[in-house]
Chains A and B, each alone.
Chain A
């Protein structure tokens, strides 16, 4: 009898849930920004910081609202990134765009090419936001067809995380910087610890899915290769350098045998957290997740150099001003003030696992006290960003499938990348 009630309850809640869903889909609350108060400017600020980063951003925005009380007020709307990118296009079209927004750098060229964003060059002329104050590569990456569309808030590169205890046990007290060192340490830490004839502790975990694509991008650039042509229509990743880069990553699994084969999504993160893997490569945003893992004594460093020169993949959160039906100089000016404030007060932001794009914040003692972040920030001079092309994403996406196939041992790097080039160029044509 009791179970019948449980069942009824279960079915009722399932029904209720579906009702809630239909209810949600049609309601979108949006606060109308009031301009009745002639002196006070209210700005709507959209972003996709739905994780812990949302709280960090809220702290900064609260600080701004307090300092500019009675003059400028920021009203924040946070939504998931997927939703954000879908919505931002439609609201610009209907003339209800937010006054300022944060988005990823690799999305900026695409949005700019479709006329979603306001060029910022004239607006920045009289402001304190200048190239000299920022990491030059990421500052330049915000330019599309010789116009600036975005101001960088942070950079988030990939990094090497290593288990301090496992390295120490084999007599290593420093993370590897070169390919030779990396393989040496990884081989020493790849072991059968319980003597059953099977390896149960690995030196490294080479993922076959994301973030393998970020490692490949870095390695490609380290060998002097390029991902996609400047106009974004031709794939360049299948040349000798691209093939060599993918072969290098594949060799870690099949030749050096320092990584388990066929790692599934996030499998290497699990092993590293369990202390069964000495080194892993992932984004800077993993810092706090690893810190929460009890009993894991880890440290962060620059990724080892596999190719001929150093290069590390990074992305960046950027501020943009979406295009309005009618320009309001008061509002755009206030938006620039806000952007300047946030980039200058981004130390809170850095604590969440980011590197501030502004030099003054990065050089501060407060940032240097963040052990992992400042170690990863040593890669700043050679960070590489995705090329500024609207169709880059289309040409690049099939390469991620190719990386997967090659690292699973199903295809040779050359064949996989050739196939990806064909698909990517077709996709770019369709998207143009």
Chain B
């Protein structure tokens, strides 16, 4: 498609000689753009424009009232180098907390749905029911989902500690103590968002041809071996998608810690979005908040690129090996 754009003027010239042919060519080169036009429009309005505006804001000081004042890269300097700035300490604290959550949550958010998908995919009795059951929490709003758990995790009156006490374990302050607060946040997130990755993996499992399984069975491959050599390679596409989107979603954690821990104990579970929101709408420092949001976006971009590269390298490596065989 890329080449068709510069080619177009030449075709116009040739139009005089054979009008029929050129018209189909022009239509052909326009049609794809017509197909993506609606999406492109929304993409421009809701993504490109706000992002551009964010970059513009990040170079200014603006409190929503007085005209924005151009300050160059000062907002970025405050984040990275200025030890006297509030953003220097708070941004990196929130950043580190967010990374912690990503590291704790993403493996669980991939592994649990994967294993569940394989279990459900065996098409035993009730698998359809479980499919709907695991997806159901995804339909709740974040506040609803988190509040259910806040009541269950309540250290003095909650269900979880009631049963733990029967096992002789007492005094776990799920939402007020570390590492419990992180564990609770991961559990809440897994319960709430498991459905999406589950569906993606189920669809991926359906795409693996049955004869591959049959062939592997005939060759005497056990369950573990089939998982490693048939299922995992077959799920590479869905896995990449699930991994990248789950990581991005995990970076954006906001509602869970906002409702469940309010960033506590202290500021140990205060995440980037929480702090950026506080700077923007608590202190009305729009420029600082925009700069932090852009730095955060860059981090997410870097992590996504690394993930893409990692999975693609894996694929080419395997290809080379099969060729050698």
Contact = CB atoms under 8 A, between A and B. Distances in A.
A423 interface: yes
B266 interface: yes
Contacts of B283: 393-394, 427, 430-431
Contacts of B174: 264
Contact of A82 (B65, B156, B261, B281): B281
Contacts of B252: none
Contacts of A404: 264-266
B170 to A, nearest CB: 7
Interface string B135-166: 11011000000000011011111000000000
B128 interface: yes
A410 B282 contact: no
Contact of A86 (B129, B132, B177, B281): B281
Interface string B56-95: 0000000111100000000000100000111101100000
Interface string A383-411: 00000000001100100010011001011
A408 B65 contact: no
A218 interface: no
Nearest to B264: A404
B65 A405 contact: no
A114 interface: yes
B64 A208 contact: no
Contacts of B177: 262, 408
Contacts of B262: 209-210, 265
A397 B282 CA distance: 10
Nearest to A425: B86
Given A115-B65, A209-B264, A401-B267, A264 B285 contact: no
A369 interface: no
Given A260-B155, A262-B177, A263-B176, A410 B265 contact: yes
Interface string A53-88: 000000000000000000000000000001001100
Contacts of A1: 128
A161 B89 CA distance: 39
**How many B residues are at the interface, by size bracket?**
35 or more
B131 A7 contact: yes
Interface string B87-114: 1011000000000000000000000000
A107 to B, nearest CB: 11
B132 A93 contact: no
Residue from B129, B138, B155, B288 with most neighbouring chain A CB atoms (10 Å): B155
Contacts of B190: none
A241 B200 CA distance: 59
B205 interface: no
B281 to A, nearest CB: 6
B154 A270 contact: yes
Contact of B136 (A10, A271, A401): A10
B308 interface: no
B260 interface: yes
A271 B157 contact: yes
Contact of B65 (A3, A10, A92, A410): A92
Contacts of B84: 426
A165 interface: no
Nearest to A83: B281
Contacts of B194: none
Contact of A263 (B63, B65, B66, B155): B155
Interface string A113-152: 0111000000000000000000000000000000000000
Closest 9 CB pairs of A and B: A3-B128, A262-B173, A426-B86, A264-B175, A262-B176, A89-B64, A427-B86, A431-B283, A405-B266
Given A7-B132, A276-B156, 4 more contacts: A3-B131, A11-B199, A86-B281, A276-B157
Interface of B: 42, 46, 63-66, 78, 84-87, 89-90, 128-129, 131-132, 135-136, 138-139, 150-151, 153-157, 170-171, 173-177, 199, 260-267, 281-285, 288
19 contacts: A86-B281, A89-B64, A89-B65, A92-B65, A93-B64, A260-B155, A261-B171, A262-B173, A264-B153, A264-B261, A265-B262, A267-B154, A397-B282, A401-B263, A423-B89, A423-B90, A426-B85, A430-B85, A430-B285
